[in-house]
A and B are shown apart, each in its own frame.
Chain A
Amino acid sequence: MTKLLLVIAAKLISGTTVRWVGCQPDSRQRIYFANHTSNLDALVIWASLPSAVRTVTRPVAARDYWLKGAIRRYLAIHVLNAVLIERKRPTVQDNPLHDMLAALGDRHSLIIFPEGGRQSGGEMSPFKGGLFHLAKNRPDVEFIPVLVENLNRILPKGEIVPVPLLGSLRFGAPIKLGSGEEKAVFLERARTAIQVLQTT
């Protein structure tokens, strides 16, 4: 019930146009990687998936943000079924990569933001290495680039009340880690895969 309400609320607030440019919705195992501009990003991408896909898809989110306050905590754990990771001080025991791989298992998909933090508009920052390690560990999973637009205007960094503008999501064609492809090359290619969606 809360899930349904949240999906409806997310869709109403963000008025998001969703376009599947390079692939179709599918409940096979995937990692959706997107540019990060607003706290709404994970919620809106999650809500835009068809319900069969949504139930197996888990957003990866920062533990320090989502465990603050009862509402956020409830949403993250019970509604979004989020994978909460440590982004400030990763240690061997508290390694985000292990958490993500464990969360994937053999049936889940993930939504991740490889920039690591929100950008206040403009260029995407370089990607963190996690995406590369995921690709290396799980060659069977599809990596889908997602371009998020305008959500930072709906809820900019530091604001609490959203303004009801129209957002847009575009899902691109899957990319694969080439054999022997270097980390920096792959990460840059993944970043470009999101950028080129602007022209579609």
Chain B
Amino acid sequence: MNPPWDKQLIGLGGGVLMLLLAASIIGWFLSRRFTNPQGKATIENLNARTRAWWVMALVFGLAMALGLVGTTILFGLVSFLALREFITLTPTTPGDHRTLFWTFFVVLPLQYALIGLQWYGLFSILIPVYAFLILPLRSAAAGDCHNFLERTAKIQWGLMICVYCVSYIPALLTLHIPGYAGQNAKLVFYLVLVAQLSDVLQYVWGKTLGRTKIAPDVSPNKTWAGFIGGVASTVLVGAGLWWATPFTPWQSAGMSLAITFMGFGGGLVMSAIKRDRGIKDYGNLIEGHGGMMDRIDSLCYTAPVFFHLTRYFFT
């Protein structure tokens, strides 16, 4: 195996650091220029987001340096925090208590352990098959039938989104791509970078040019200008990163397109859930970003698709 820190990975990491540095400097200048309260609030939110990005980038970099184990543990924690936010918003009853115990303390660690063991045949079906069938049994045994289907469906959905989908990010490290052995860390980097960049660019385009809202009832921040500008610029950047991936520039553009589309969809669906529950953010874990779910909503949707596209076409 090659050392995890090859030149291209250092290039990607350096690029992210430069980007964050630039964002911090621009934010600092903006905070000095805008004096009216509304502008100040927007800039303060922007700067809080940048600060949180620094922390997230450093944690992510540290985990990546520790290889499969570090990355698996990091995303296991991400799943834990996300599931916690998700289930908190779900009106479960005392009858679900033992089921939730299994969800948090058995299914979640098992899923990530299977990824650490690189056991594709089981980690890809643990939650959609076994958890799906067995967890409702525990709830049924507890004897509370009120809203049974609704409660069961919500717990399963939380597991799928927060655990199963997120676990596909470290699972990228288990793929065997011919001619790319030992370099899979760059694939994780690529996915996270493109998905998060897509969020940021859609936000920036929407804030500067956005007029017409796509789904005003679901997510008032999503505009056509934000979507089109965000997708186009992300695909350009994604294609430009082909050298770090097993893809050609055109394939890389295609992958980035898939990532931005799915990411947009993820943001929209999670917004719909938040609207339904009558809240704006999933939590207040990350300053300026809301909760963990607010930050990873697009990754949940992109990771499994990116994994399976790569697995189908490149392994």
Partner of A165, one of B84, B94, B284: B84
Residues of A within 8 A of B85 (CB): 166
- Does A163 lie within 8 Å of B101, measured CB to CB? yes
B163 shortest CB reach to chain A, Å: 14
8 further A-B pairs in the complex, CB-CB below 8 A; given A163-B100, A163-B101 = A15-B84, A121-B94, A153-B97, A156-B97, A159-B94, A163-B87, A164-B84, A165-B84
Task: Pick the 6 closest A-B CB pairs, nearest first.
Answer: A166-B88, A156-B94, A163-B100, A165-B88, A159-B97, A156-B97
The 0/1 profile, CB within 8 Å of A marked 1, for residues 58-94 of chain B is 0000000000000000000000100011011000101
Known: A120-B94, A159-B97. A164 touches B104 (CB 8 A): yes
Residues on A facing B (Cβ under 8 Å)? 15, 17, 120-121, 150, 152-153, 156-157, 159, 161, 163-166
- Determine whether B283 belongs to the interface, using a CB cutoff of 8 Å to chain A: yes
Interface string of B282-303 (1 = CB under 8 A from A): 0110000000000000000000
Interface size class of B (residues with CB under 8 A): 10 to 19
Taking a contact as CB atoms under 8 Å apart, the answer to whether B94 and A150 are in contact is no
Give complex CA distance A17, B283 in Å: 9
B97 A165 Cβ-Cβ under 8 A? no
Number of inter-chain CB pairs below 8 Å = 33
Note all chain B residues with C-beta closer than 8 A to A157: 94
CA distance A157 to B92 in the complex (A): 15
Between A and B, 10 residue pairs with Cβ closer than 8 Å are A17-B284, A120-B94, A152-B94, A153-B92, A153-B94, A153-B97, A157-B94, A163-B101, A165-B88, A166-B283
Q: CB-CB < 8 A to B100: which residues of A?
A: 163, 165
A156–B94 CA distance with the chains assembled, in angstroms: 6
A56 smallest CB distance to B (angstroms): 28
With a cutoff of 8 Å between Cβ atoms, the chain A residues found around residue B87 in the complex are 163, 165
Interface centre among B97, B101, B284 (most CB of A within 10 A): B97
Task: State how many angstroms separate the Cβ of B22 from the closest Cβ of chain A.
Answer: 33
Residue in chain B with minimal CB distance to A152 = B94
| Chain B residue with the shortest CB-CB distance to A156 | B94
Chain B residues with CB below 8 A from A156, complex form: 94, 97
A150 to B91, CA, bound (A): 10
User: CB-CB contacts of B93-108 with A at 8 A, as 1s and 0s?
Assistant: 0100100110010000
**The one of A17, A121, A159, A166 that contacts B84, using a Cβ cutoff of 8 Å:** A166
A135 to chain B, nearest CB (A): 34
Identify the closest chain A residue to B80 (Cβ): A164
Q: Name the residue of chain A whose CB is nearest to the CB of B85.
A: A166
Write out, one digit per residue, whether chain B residues 253-281 have a CB within 8 A of any chain A CB (1) or not (0): 00000000000000000000000000000
Report chain B residues within 8 Å CB of A15: 84
Q: Who on chain B is nearest to A158 by CB?
A: B94
- Check B94–A163 contact: CB distance below 8 A: no
- Min CB gap B108→A, angstroms: 10
B283 touches A163 (CB 8 A): no
CA distance in complex: A40, B109 (Å): 25
CA distance A17 to B88 in the complex (A): 12
Do B284 and A150 have beta carbons less than 8 Å apart? no
Question: Given the complex, which residues of A lie within 8 Å of B80, measured CB to CB?
Answer: 164
Q: Name the B residues within 8 Å of A159 (CB-CB).
A: 94, 97
Chain A proximity mask over B193-210: 1 for CB below 8 Å, otherwise 0: 000000000000000000
Please give the distance in Å from A15's CB to the nearest CB on chain B: 6
Q: B104, A163: Cβ atoms under 8 Å?
A: yes
Interchain CB contact under 8 A, B101 and A161: yes
Determine the distance from Cα of A165 to Cα of B92 in the docked complex, in whole angstroms: 11
Chain B residues within 8 Å of A161, by CB = 101
Cα distance A15–B84 when bound, in Å? 9
Closest chain B residue to A15 by CB distance?
Answer: B84
| B78 CB → nearest A CB, Å | 14
Q: Taking the nearest CB of chain B, how far is it from the CB of A157, in angstroms?
A: 8
Please state if B88 and A150 are interface contacts (CB–CB under 8 Å): yes
Task: State A15–B80 Cα separation when bound (angstroms).
Answer: 12
Distance of A166 Cα from B100 Cα, bound (Å): 13
Looking at the assembled complex, report how far the CB atom of A165 sits from the nearest CB atom of chain B, in whole angstroms. 5
B83: nearest chain-A partner, CB-CB: A164
A152 to B85 CA separation, bound complex (whole angstroms): 16
- Chain A residues contacting B97 (CB-CB under 8 Å) are 153, 156, 159, 163
CA distance A121 to B97 in the complex (A): 14
B91 to A, closest residue via Cβ: A153
Chain A residues with CB under 8 Å of B92's CB are: 153
* Smallest beta-carbon distance B103→chain A, Å: 8
Residues on the B chain within 8 Å of A166, using CB = 84-85, 88, 283
The distance in angstroms between the C-alpha atoms of A45 and B97, with both chains bound, is 22
